[in-house]
Structure 1
Amino acid sequence: MKLFEDKNRIYDKPATHNSNTYNYYDCSSRVDIAIIRKVLNEWFDDYPDTEKNELNRRFNKSFTSAFYELFIFNLFKLQGFKIEIHPDIPGTTKKPDFLISKGDIEFYLEAKVAMGESEKQVSLKRRINQIYDSLNNIKSANFFLRIEELIIKTKIQPSIKQFRDKIETELKNFDPDTVTKDIQAYGLEGCPKIAIEDKNLQLIISLIPKDPQYRKENDNAIGVYPSEVFWGGEEESIKTSFSKKAKRYGRLDKPYIVCINSIGRKFTGNYDVMNAIWGTLAISWSTNPNDIDEKIIRMNDGLFISDKGPEYKNVSGVLITHVMEFNIPNSSYWLVKHPFADKELDFKIIDMSYQYLRDGKIITTEGKTIAEIFNIKTDWLDE
């Protein structure tokens, strides 16, 4: 069986906010989506036949986690490892995602996606996305809509039809050329606003005139969404996800690697990951006024050590990635060896760059990129 069957596809519109990712990828006729489908089908073809039905089902239900497991499977398979899915382990009925082996070396591996959102936040996001999808259906040939304010006031999902109807009526009262002149004279303050409110929703939008050559009804009426400001990155999300997997099996008979795919909206890259793994950056100084001795240190709040000492010694290492189906060859990863692991793993058998601790210093070895391992060009979607 295939993950995506061969068929005629004619849907060329962008995905909606609440689209089922698998269904959208399965019906889209876009060239870049076809390239992604081809790669995922090739990966899926190498997955064990006995597990394909279950993975296919999970792609439809939870695309991001199913994608990540398939990615990890192929990541290690392409490095020459043998992989057993959901192996039995002594002393428990729980089963990790993979048992990975090369020669006489074996280790367990568990994969988890870290979104950085609680269930409550995910639920609210879905409700807001439903509103966005409805507003995007507004017929607006002359203006893009800029969402200035959107407040859901109750637990009841707002009905958007009356909002859409009023906005479409109001749009007829504004001339795009006149609004363009107002913006040139007064800046964005010259944009007309439409405010609507009922017992469940408060909405304020402003109108941004389209250039004359683009004045037609688009697939999406919304041109600008509300901006979001975050304090901090995804450190806590990474640490929480790691902790859950590290605690899941207790002591194991083999080395154990936890893989975390950090794809939350606050992810900033190396700064988040290094703080999560090795501890938060801080400044230390002496109370001696004659010798301040100011220096940058890392606090004992990383994955492997706390103020009480080494933590999660049943884990041999962690692989943190930032990979999604559309950035595969350009994705980042951090493979790190636990400096105090009970069961040490020889990381040299892995073709990837990894970090380890030596004499209190973080050492980074050279290794292959994701693009090199998968043999995918970094401009793959431009073909």
Structure 2
Amino acid sequence: MDKTKKLFDEITRDYTGFRCYTEPKWNYLNRCARLECERIRNLLEQWFKNFPSKAQDDLRKRFQSKKDQHHLSAFFELYLHELLSKSGFSVEIHPVMRNKSTHPDFKVLKDGKPLFYLEAKVVSLSDEDISAKARENQVYKVLNRIKSPNSFIGVKVQGTPVTNPPGTKMRRFLECKLSNLDLNTIAKQSEQDGFEALPQWEWKHDDWQVIFFPIPKKLKAQAKLDVRPIGLQMYNPRLTIPHIGIKQAIQDKATKYGELDLPYIVAINIMKEFGGDDIDISNALFGEEQVALIFRRNELIGKQFRRKPNGAWYGPNGPQNKRVSAVLIAVGLTPWEIAKITPVLWHNPWANNPLPLRIWRFPQVILNKKSAQLRKKRGKKAWQILGLYPDWPE
């Protein structure tokens, strides 16, 4: 393959450590010499060969982006193309739509017969949260330059920084604290009383509160300077509402192409830091769960479980966004999780163009409108179709 037609650089690699806090995901994967990274690169290069040549330049540019959202978006498209191809479908990239200037990501066919359109979307943290996390990571990068041969540093975090914290000042503050420690005494205290006995040092910046504490290393690990000093990070829970992001992704795509002549699937990859499970997905599609308490006079006589009419597919006026036939949802799919995660297809029971169950080989979820119960239909695992093994790439 032409060098300009590859996802990764042809370079000598010798770095086997972890990804730096502020490092773009593509950059690390490109320079990492670990065997797992090599396996990932080899697999993705093979997938890239299979990707239509007319769309390779655009995909490669986004895949190599320093912005992780763009990188993961391109990866998701590459993954979906390969998954569909290995499932026996043929895939047309950016099909021309009649009387429209826009076009979905894929048109999927079987034996030359058009079956459905598919549009891909990655759901992640908001731009504000991503910026705050980037500011935190910049500090951790500075702190990991501290020379702390005999103890790790524990970090407890509350809140998020609104402006860039002074990483260099924090580093000097910690170096001063660490230099005055009696590690033997601290080690004995922590063995008896756990983390509670360790000294704690507080640092505040904006609404960001950080508590540092030393974690004595075992004797055999002491004096090793090639180990990152931050050994433990603890975060207070942050409020994320995954179903809102899922719902918004569907609504953004639902009317983008108007009425279509085929079923229409929206594929969504929910990033791990955003979270998401079957309950979140159900809330996003069919409305949030709620409990109605039934009283007779002042006596509670029963409970009734129902949903608010605020789902992507069911709103205040009943079924809506009926142009979307189904959503294909993966949670936390990255190049490292290719074999471990299998997307699940959730069917829209009110779709204008329903997608036939028989054409899909992977797990599916179907709503029985009469009983209001969700039924899961088993299917193939992604690793089986992709020719991998369950723990790949380890």
Q: For residue 40 of structure 2, what is the amino acid of its counterpart?
A: I
Q: C-alpha distance in 1, partners of 2:154/2:48?
A: 41
User: What's the offset of the Cα at 1:205?
Assistant: 1.2
Q: Give the structure 1 partner of residue 351 of structure 2.
A: 341
State which drifts further: 368-377 or 100-109: 100-109
User: What's the offset of the Cα at 1:34?
Assistant: 1.3
User: What's the offset of the Cα at 1:24?
Assistant: 0.8
Q: C-alpha distance in 1, partners of 2:87/2:208?
A: 53
Spell out the pairing of 1:113-262 with structure 2 (5 A cutoff).
Answer: 113-115=122-124, 117-149=125-157, 155=163, 157-196=164-203, 203-215=210-222, 216-231=224-239, 233-262=241-270
Q: For residue 367 of structure 2, what is the amino acid of its counterpart?
A: L
State which drifts further: 64-73 or 337-346: 337-346
Q: For residue 222 of structure 1, what is the amino acid of its counterpart?
A: I
Unpaired stretches in structure 1, ≥5 consecutive residues: none
2:7 aligns with one of 3, 9, 17: 3
1:90 aligns with one of 85, 91, 98: 98
2:92–2:108 contact (8 Å) kept in structure 1? yes
2:328 aligns with one of 308, 319, 324: 319
1:118-159: CA deviations, max 9, x gaps?
21111111111111111111111111111234777653x233
CA RMSD of aligned residues (A): 2.6
Q: C-alpha distance in 2, partners of 1:228/1:153?
A: 14
Q: C-alpha distance in 2, partners of 1:249/1:3?
A: 30
Q: For residue 337 of structure 1, what is the amino acid of its counterpart?
A: H
Pairing 1:80–2:88 present? yes
Q: C-alpha distance in 2, partners of 1:239/1:336?
A: 13
The 1:222–1:288 alpha-carbon spacing in structure 2 relative to 1, beyond 3 Å, is: same
Q: For residue 334 of structure 1, what is the amino acid of its counterpart?
A: V
1:370 aligns with one of 379, 382, 390: 382
Q: C-alpha distance in 2, partners of 1:269/1:153?
A: 28
Q: C-alpha distance in 2, partners of 1:134/1:336?
A: 44
Q: Give the structure 2 partner of residue 307 of structure 1.
A: 316
The 1:232–1:124 alpha-carbon spacing in structure 2 relative to 1, beyond 3 Å, is: closer
Query: Does the residue aligned with 1:110 lie in a helix, a strand or coil?
Result: strand
Query: Does the residue aligned with 2:122 lie in a helix, a strand or coil?
Result: strand
Q: For residue 44 of structure 1, what is the amino acid of its counterpart?
A: F
1:79–1:351 contact (8 Å) kept in structure 2? yes
1:14 aligns with one of 7, 18, 24: 18
2:94–2:107 contact (8 Å) kept in structure 1? yes
TM-score, structure 1 normalization: 0.90
The 1:151–1:298 alpha-carbon spacing in structure 2 relative to 1, beyond 3 Å, is: closer
Query: Does the residue aligned with 1:330 lie in a helix, a strand or coil?
Result: coil
Identity of aligned residues (%): 30
Q: Give the structure 1 partner of residue 121 of structure 2.
A: 112
1:140–1:221 contact (8 Å) kept in structure 2? yes
Q: Give the structure 1 partner of residue 29 of structure 2.
A: 25
Q: C-alpha distance in 1, partners of 2:81/2:156?
A: 44
User: What's the offset of the Cα at 1:185?
Assistant: 4.4
Q: C-alpha distance in 1, partners of 2:157/2:340?
A: 35
Q: C-alpha distance in 1, partners of 2:268/2:158?
A: 33
1:158–1:200 contact (8 Å) kept in structure 2? no
Unpaired stretches in structure 2, ≥5 consecutive residues: none
TM-score, structure 2 normalization: 0.88
Q: C-alpha distance in 2, partners of 1:152/1:348?
A: 48
Q: Give the structure 1 partner of residue 45 of structure 2.
A: 41
2:366–2:376 contact (8 Å) kept in structure 1? yes
User: What's the offset of the Cα at 1:48?
Assistant: 1.1
The 1:240–1:264 alpha-carbon spacing in structure 2 relative to 1, beyond 3 Å, is: farther
Q: C-alpha distance in 1, partners of 2:80/2:295?
A: 49
State which drifts further: 199-208 or 14-23: 199-208
Q: C-alpha distance in 2, partners of 1:41/1:381?
A: 15
User: What's the offset of the Cα at 1:40?
Assistant: 1.2
